[in-house]
Amino acid sequence: MTVKVEVVEGGVPHTKIMVAGIVASLVCLYLSYLNVLTNTEMFSFFGGLAVVSALIWGSHTIKVLCSYGIGTGVPSAGMISFGSGVIAMLLATKFGIVAPIAALIIGVVVGVILGYLSNEVLNMKIPAMIQSLTELAVVGAFTLMGFAVLMTGGFTFTSLTTGSITILGVALPSFQVTFIGGSLIATAFLLGALAVQHPFNACLGPGWTQDRMLMCAAECGFLSMFVAAIMSFALVPAGSAIISTIIGLIGWAYTYCKYMGLSKRDAASWLDAKPIPEVEGH
Partner 1 sequence: MNNIVFGIGITALIGALAAVAGAAEDTESNIGSQGDPNSQVQLAPQMGYIHRIFNKAIAGEPPAYGLWIVLGAGLAWSFMAMQLNAVLAIVLGSVLAVFVQGVYATTAYVGRTASLKKFGQPIYVDILKSMTTVTMAHAFIAIFCTVTLCYLMNAALGHPFPLPLLGFVWGIALGAAGSATGNPYYGKERQYQNQKFGAGVPIAQSGNIVRYAEAGERNSLDNGFFTAKLGGPASGVCFGLIVFLELWRTILFENISAGWGAIIIGVLMILVFTIIDRYIEVWGRKTYGPYAKPEEAKS
By CB under 8 A, name the binding residues for partner 1.
74-75, 78-79, 165, 176-177, 181-184, 186-187, 189-191, 193-194, 197-199, 201-208, 212-213, 216, 219-220, 223, 227, 230-235, 252, 256, 259-260, 262-264, 266-277, 279, 281-282
Nearest-approach distance from CB 276 to partner 1, in angstroms: 5
Q: Smaller CB distance to partner 1: residue 155 or 252?
A: 252
The smaller minimum CB distance to partner 1, of residues 10 and 275, is found at 275
Q: Name the maximum alpha-carbon separation found in the chain.
A: 76
For partner 1, which is the closer residue by CB, 11 or 75? 75
Comparing CB distances to partner 1, the nearer of 105 and 194 is 194
Cβ of residue 15: shortest distance to partner 1, in angstroms? 24
Q: Report the C-alpha gap between 136 and 23 in whole angstroms.
A: 15
CA distance 48 to 241: 11
Report d(CA 12, CA 165) in Å as an integer. 48
The alpha carbon of residue 236 and the mean position of all alpha carbons in its chain are separated, in whole angstroms, by: 21
Least distance from partner 1 to the Cβ atom of residue 80, Å: 12
Measure the CA–CA gap between 267 and 208, rounded to whole angstroms: 11
**Are 132 and 109 spatial neighbours (Cβ–Cβ below 8 Å)?**
no
Closest separation in Å from C-beta 177 to partner 1:
5
Between CA 105 and CA 144 the distance in angstroms is 15
Q: Are 228 and 241 in contact (CB under 8 A)?
A: no
Report, in Å, the least distance between residue 231 CB and partner 1: 4
Residue closer to partner 1 by CB (options 9, 272) is 272
Chain centre to alpha carbon of residue 28: 13
Distance in Å, CB of 213 to partner 1, minimum: 8
Between 95 and 256, whose beta carbon lies closer to partner 1? Answer: 256
